[in-house]
Amino acid sequence: MNTLIVYAHPEPRSLNGSLKDLAVATLEKAGHAVRVSDLYAMGWKAAVDAGDFGPSASNPLRVPADSGRAFDTGTLTPDVRAEQEKLLWADTVIFQFPLWWYTMPAILKGWFDRVFTYHFAYGVGEHSDVKYGERFGEGTLAGRRAMLSITVGGRESHYAERGINGPADDLLFPIQHGILYYPGLEVLPPFVLYGADRVIDFPDIAKAWERRLLSLESTEPIAFRRQNYGDYEIPSLELKEGLEPVGRSGFRLHVRP
């Protein structure tokens, strides 16, 4: 198994840093190849701008078109090209980060904004009467798997079905479905540590994390619905009536029963 770990925390001696180190050690010991993108250590540039597209940038700048042209002509910046190459090398991608303001840190969002370019992660495949591009179940990264490993400051009950922050699965839907599943990655259930700012029994956490890491290949992904296989009207992309269990709504419509 080729595993890419994309890691976003400013402090190497943090809980996130320890989980990343443990993942590298555990997977390598089990015979897997591991590469790490340590975004803070790399000084990752977070903001998309004209500098990303070199001579391909138009004036005025048009981010989707310009990123697609730079991708097609191989003129994206070397940092972005390197990350795209790592994604194509990997068959499993782990994202290790703290949940800040209910989503990923800016430096990691900037990794997606810059690496997931047009023609690489979106704007892939044909549009027709039966197909609306290759995405949500198809796409450049199809056949690969991804998993979030996150630390959360609050208590687990705050992220429960009736918790004030909203259910964790719903908070993570825009990332797991909207970002990861979009270009074809199958998404494994996340590894979530609550109460991360309080006292932590690290040996117990380490054991649970090792178990998840060593069962990555046999873990069933979240059963998100595929876009082009009959569940959705095209081009409105609304779920056809009657496919969901009674009472299910919102994001949960897009997971197969």
Residues in touch with a copy of itself (CB under 8 A): 10-14, 40, 44, 46-50, 60-64, 98, 100-107, 109-110, 112-113, 116, 136, 153, 155, 157-158, 160-167, 170-171, 173-174, 177-179, 182, 197, 227, 232, 235-239, 247, 249-254
Minimum Å gap between C-beta 119 and a copy of itself is 14
- The sign of the CA dihedral 240, 257, 96, 82 is negative
Instruction: Tell me which residue of 236, 237, 218 sits closest to 227, measured CA to CA.
Output: 237
Candidates 42, 36, 45; CA nearest to 6 is 36
Considering the complex, state which of residue 18 and residue 92 has its C-beta at the smaller distance from a copy of itself: 18
Checking DSSP bridges between strand 191-193 and strand 186-187, what pairing results, if any? unpaired
Give the residues across from 148 on adjacent strands: 95
Query: What dihedral do alpha carbons 112, 114, 120, 123 form, nearest 10°?
Result: 90
Q: How far is the CB of 222 from a copy of itself (least distance, A)?
A: 14
User: Residue 167 or 221: which CB sits closer to a copy of itself?
Assistant: 167
Closest distance to a copy of itself from the beta carbon of 14 (Å): 7
Measured from the CB atom, the residue of 31 and 245 that comes closer to a copy of itself is 245
Q: Which is nearer to a copy of itself, 137 or 189 (CB)?
A: 137
Element (H, E) at 168: helix 168-175
